């Protein structure tokens, strides 16, 4: 009898342990977040197009080096703690990958530029990131930055806007682009996949549709690319749309009806690139917490109207003054001469992350995916990379909230 009692107790303990282990696994799954930071790849030298327009050895670091305060309290210039590195160097990207991994940045979403006549700013990803020894320590993905590229590095107030590279591509060219991204990126082991589908984000949906001429033709092209991805061994493509309600760049036009386009084109999810796509900045330095609360109202609207998962965005800040020609009078005249976000301390950034996390945990069907603006938008004042003032403060904020 004593032996039987001991046996029953052992079985009971084993079952209880198994249940608790299962519950822990469910809890871990419930609480696990994917943090994906946008990466803007204009911080390497000798891109072919930049050579033609800016000369040898130019990168956007030149704007950062030259930046000055444009008004009282304008925190410029920003100085990178790592120095003015060249991101097409694999060793430079190894340092960034390590910092990302160490601080719970799980994925880098590269702003990816591909035009009718070829690529732009691709050396960072192709020669730097993908050749880094620790490349598999983080995921990567593409956001096709298919907007028109204008000469605004820097921009002189009142100058005629000069279009350098049109974002619209033809249907024939898109077929070639699709073949390239499947072969060169989507099928890599560390490409970010959601439910087995390669994440592919479209920045400017209106410009995307312009290349095909109709919604029906656009949808057909998307379906063809999805079929190609399946033939390549994937479960398909996870189509993500970048939503914005307030244009930033002079060439941007807001689509009339995002919910309808999402439904008609069959997008799987939506997200945002930066808060100021949804937030007016009434003051020269609009308070960070005010901008956060205004963005949260858009998030509420997107969550109910889009009918697909909406991945919320947390922006680190906003200050495009380095892109404004120093000889021009500064004011709120239109991009890049815009009001800024101030008080974006690491502490306030951390609070925004925590509030975002809490809101998502309160939603049992949330996908637990957050996009961050940005890993390195230095000339727009929104970056996670360490500077000489705050060191690793913004990265540590992510680690602290999502540890």
Task: Give strand pairing partners of 241.
Answer: 202, 270
pLDDT at 169: 97
Q: pLDDT-derived band of residue 249, with 50, 70 and 90 as boundaries?
A: low
pLDDT tens, position by position, 375-397:
999 999 999 999 999 999 999 99
Tokens, residue 274: 């930066």
pLDDT at 189: 97
Is 19 within a domain?
Answer: no
Q: pLDDT-derived band of residue 361, with 50, 70 and 90 as boundaries?
A: very high
pLDDT at 367: 92
Tokens, residue 16: 């209880």
pLDDT at 5: 45
In the predicted structure, residue 30 carries a pLDDT above the cut 60: no
Is 249 within a domain?
Answer: yes
> What percent of the chain lies above the pLDDT cut of 70?
90
Is 203 within a domain?
Answer: yes
CATH number of the domain enclosing 251: 3.20.20.80
In the predicted structure, residue 179 carries a pLDDT above the cut 70: yes
What is the rounded distance in angstroms from the CA atom of residue 239 to the CA atom of residue 309?
11
pLDDT at 244: 87
In the predicted structure, residue 261 carries a pLDDT above the cut 70: yes
Evaluated on CA atoms 200, 149, 113, 168, the torsion sign reads: positive
Is 4 within a domain?
Answer: no
Question: Which parts of 243-345 fold into alpha helices (H)?
Answer: 258-265, 288-305
Q: How many domains does the chain have?
A: 1
Task: Give strand pairing partners of 99.
Answer: none
In the predicted structure, residue 24 carries a pLDDT above the cut 90: no
In the predicted structure, residue 27 carries a pLDDT above the cut 60: no
In the predicted structure, residue 166 carries a pLDDT above the cut 90: yes
Q: pLDDT-derived band of residue 245, with 50, 70 and 90 as boundaries?
A: confident
pLDDT tens, position by position, 285-332:
999 999 999 999 999 999 999 999 999 999 999 999 999 999 999 999
CB contact set of 219 (below 8 Å; sequence gap of 6+): 264, 265, 266
pLDDT at 168: 96
Task: Give strand pairing partners of 163.
Answer: 150
Is 73 within a domain?
Answer: yes
> What percent of the chain lies above the pLDDT cut of 90?
87
Is 7 within a domain?
Answer: no
pLDDT tens, position by position, 107-145:
999 999 999 999 999 999 999 999 999 999 999 999 999
* Mean pLDDT (the chain, rounded): 92
Is 16 within a domain?
Answer: no
CB contact set of 206 (below 8 Å; sequence gap of 6+): 253, 254, 255
State the average pLDDT over residues 319-347.
97
Q: Vertex 61, ends 57 and 65: CA angle to 5°?
A: 115
Is 177 within a domain?
Answer: yes
In the predicted structure, residue 158 carries a pLDDT above the cut 80: yes
**DSSP secondary-structure letter at 147?**
S
This prediction has a pTM of 0.92
Q: pLDDT-derived band of residue 251, with 50, 70 and 90 as boundaries?
A: low
- Host domain of residue 281: 32-402
Q: pLDDT-derived band of residue 366, with 50, 70 and 90 as boundaries?
A: confident
């Amino acid at each position: 009898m004593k032996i039987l009692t001991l046996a029953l107790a052992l079985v009971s303990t084993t079952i209880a342990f198994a249940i608790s282990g299962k519950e822990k696994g469910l809890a871990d799954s419930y609480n696990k977040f994917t943090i994906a930071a946008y990466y803007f790849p204009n911080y390497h030298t000798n891109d072919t197009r930049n050579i033609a327009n800016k000369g040898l050895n130019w990168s956007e670091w030149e704007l950062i080096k030259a930046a000055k305060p444009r008004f009282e309290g304008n925190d410029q210039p920003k100085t990178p703690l790592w120095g003015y590195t060249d991101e097409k160097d694999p060793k430079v990207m190894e340092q960034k990958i390590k910092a990302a991994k160490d601080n719970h940045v799980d994925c880098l979403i590269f702003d990816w530029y591909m035009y009718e006549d070829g690529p732009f700013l691709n050396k960072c990803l192709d020669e730097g990131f993908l050749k880094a020894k620790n490349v598999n320590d983080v995921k990567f993905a593409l956001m096709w930055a298919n907007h028109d590229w204008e000469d605004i590095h820097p921009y002189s107030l009142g100058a005629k806007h000069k279009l350098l590279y049109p974002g619209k591509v033809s249907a024939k060219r898109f077929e070639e682009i699709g073949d390239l991204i499947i072969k060169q990126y989507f099928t890599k082991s560390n490409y970010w996949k959601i439910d087995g589908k390669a994440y592919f984000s479209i920045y400017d949906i209106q410009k995307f549709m312009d290349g095909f001429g109709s919604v029906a033709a656009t949808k057909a092209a998307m379906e063809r690319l999805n079929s190609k991805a399946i033939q390549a061994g994937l479960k398909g493509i996870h189509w993500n749309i970048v939503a914005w309600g307030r244009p930033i760049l002079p060439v941007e036009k807001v689509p009339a009806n995002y919910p309808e386009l999402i439904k008609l084109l069959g997008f799987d999810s939506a997200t945002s690139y930066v808060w100021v796509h949804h937030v007016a900045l009434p003051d020269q330095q609009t308070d960070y917490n005010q901008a956060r609360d205004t963005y949260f109202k858009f998030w509420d609207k997107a969550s109910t109207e889009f009918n697909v998962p909406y991945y919320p965005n947390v922006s680190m800040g906003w200050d495009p003054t380095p892109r404004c020609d120093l000889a021009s009078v500064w004011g709120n005249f239109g991009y890049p001469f815009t009001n800024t976000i101030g008080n974006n301390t690491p502490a306030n950034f951390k609070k925004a992350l925590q509030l975002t996390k809490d809101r998502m945990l309160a939603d049992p069907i949330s996908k637990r995916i957050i996009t961050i603006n940005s890993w390195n938008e230095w000339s727009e004042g929104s970056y996670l990379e360490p500077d000489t003032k705050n060191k690793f403060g913004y990265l540590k904020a992510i680690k602290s909230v999502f540890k």
